[in-house]
Structure 1
Amino acid sequence: MIQCCFVIPIYNHHETIRATVEQLLRFDMPILIIDDGSDISTKYALTGLVNDYPLSVRLFNLPKNLGKGAAVMFGFHQAVTAGLTHALQIDADGQHNHDDIPTFLAAANNSPLALISGWPQYDESMPLSRKIGRQITHFWVHVETLSFKVKDTMCGFRVYPLEATLATMETKTIGRRMDFDIELMVRMYWRQTPIIFIKTPVIYPKGGRSHFRPLEDNWRITKMHTRLFFGMLLRSPALIARKLKRN
């Protein structure tokens, strides 16, 4: 049986964090919230949650905004320090479907060495710009992995096996912002971590707040894909041999 916690990175989502946490309490797992330099309204909301649920909620405050990836990686280290084997990453803004959590946990228990990832099923609330961006990233990920088995690398709804995850993080500096989810999954795939995808509905809440910065984050993701492409070239013989063996 795995020992799992929730890891929630948060940056200025005071409107949604209480509802998110209260839906997670029923799973009786530690909830690790990493405040990535949020505003005062969010800090008040987080303090209230810690006071109301001291046995379930642990709050960690980063000194300034370091990025989603940096917050999640900090949470992973805290989970390992607490003796846990897995961490379920979930967003603070209510975008992910909490009813699918039992399915994710069951898959992690059945395959404890695997990375369990959401395979988003979007509705009409998804902005066109984000849809195009995802299609571009999917193309490059198929190139970087020489595989169509990696269904989605941008969903932040995942159960990570912490031993394999930290081992991957130690081999290379992983992107600390919006490039984090993509790069970590590709590098875990390269290291032959099994990846299981589970279809899950994902919404863009009306009036939701996005921290995606088009110019800065798209440039960062472009640089990341460039690094991964050349990394693929170095690994291509092993990736091709692996593909042939599987076939």
Structure 2
Amino acid sequence: MPISSTTHVVLIPSYNPGPKVFDTVRAARAQWSPVWVIVDGSNDGSEQTLLQMAAEDGGLQVFVLPENRGKGAAVLHGLEQATRQGFTHVLCMDSDGQHPAAQIPAFMARSQQQPAAMVLGLPVFDASAPSLRVKGRKISNWWANLETLWMGIGDSLFGFRVYPVAPLRQIMQGQRWMRRFDFDPEAVVRLCWHGVPPVNLPSPVKYFQAEEGGVSHFNYWRDNRLLTWMHIRLMFGFALRLPLLLWRRLASRPAVC
């Protein structure tokens, strides 16, 4: 039986995911209730099947956005719904089957133990992971840790995470970024600035080939340009916040007798 919660909800943003989304949703529902899918303007026919699944499953709810706005915008829509319905935390996972639904209970349990923290998946790659993606993410990880004075972000890009709703919603409402591929890394940096500590849990990740039903919307040049611009912006923000970050770091050190 799936674990039910009135505080923690699974949130799955979905844009033209292919048939893997149905397996992803079923796997998530086997572990947790409720599960929400945010259909981000998909035009691949998945919306109809997901709505039918929700009609037959009281633990599943589907929200449909009229046009594609990006992953971050879909998550923000979920945060707004979570606030209205009294949920305090969301576990975000991708719709393409890469993230391990079996680990939902462990991530949720850690969040319930440390509700002020964000619980970040630390990806454990297998042979299916593209080498360029594995090596390239190290650059973003280095910048994200620099921008937070090495607060402990294990991986800035892996989207299997539990966020506290209130601070993330406040951050996103306060600026116009974090709406597309820049959402995951910018969310962790800005939450660290906000005083939300990261907790890292290892998590296997699986990359599916096209013949296995895998779908990727990652565009190497477009999305890396977006990340570059994001880190430029964040470095300016980091410079402005450096005195506060240093003060927090010093204040968190144990007193020496």
TM class by shorter chain equals over 0.9
Give the aligned partner of residue 80 of structure 2. Answer: 77
Match for residue 109 of structure 2 among 94, 106, 110: 106
Does the 8 Å CA contact 1:85/1:163 hold for their aligned counterparts? yes
Match for residue 173 of structure 1 among 172, 176, 198: 176
For 2:237, the aligned partner's letter is G
Identify unmatched segments of 5+ residues in structure 2.
none
SS in 2 for 1:178: coil
Does the 8 Å CA contact 1:2/1:86 hold for their aligned counterparts? no
Give the aligned partner of residue 245 of structure 2. Answer: 239
For 2:154, the aligned partner's letter is K
Match for residue 124 of structure 1 among 119, 123, 127: 127
Matches of 1:72 and 1:46, distance apart in 2: 17
Deviation at 1:2, TM superposition (A): 6.3
Give the aligned partner of residue 13 of structure 1. Answer: 17
For 1:190, the aligned partner's letter is W
Give the aligned partner of residue 92 of structure 1. Answer: 95
Deviation digits for residues 61-83 of structure 1 (CA, Å, limit 9, x no counterpart): 11111111111111111111111
Deviation at 1:133, TM superposition (A): 2.1
Deviating runs (4+, > 4 A) in structure 1?
A: none
Give the aligned partner of residue 35 of structure 1. Answer: 39
SS in 1 for 2:33: coil
Matches within 5 A, 1:175-214: 175-207=178-210, 208-214=214-220
Deviation at 1:230, TM superposition (A): 0.9
Deviation at 1:21, TM superposition (A): 1.4
Does the 8 Å CA contact 1:108/1:116 hold for their aligned counterparts? yes
Does the 8 Å CA contact 2:18/2:215 hold for their aligned counterparts? no
Superposition RMSD in Å: 1.6
- How many residues in Structure 1 have an aligned counterpart in Structure 2? 246
Q: What percent of counterpart residues are identical?
A: 38
SS in 2 for 1:13: coil
* TM-score, normalised by the number of residues in structure 1: 0.93
Deviation at 1:36, TM superposition (A): 0.8
Deviation digits for residues 155-205 of structure 1 (CA, Å, limit 9, x no counterpart): 111111111221222333332111001101100001111211111111112
Does the 8 Å CA contact 1:2/1:112 hold for their aligned counterparts? no
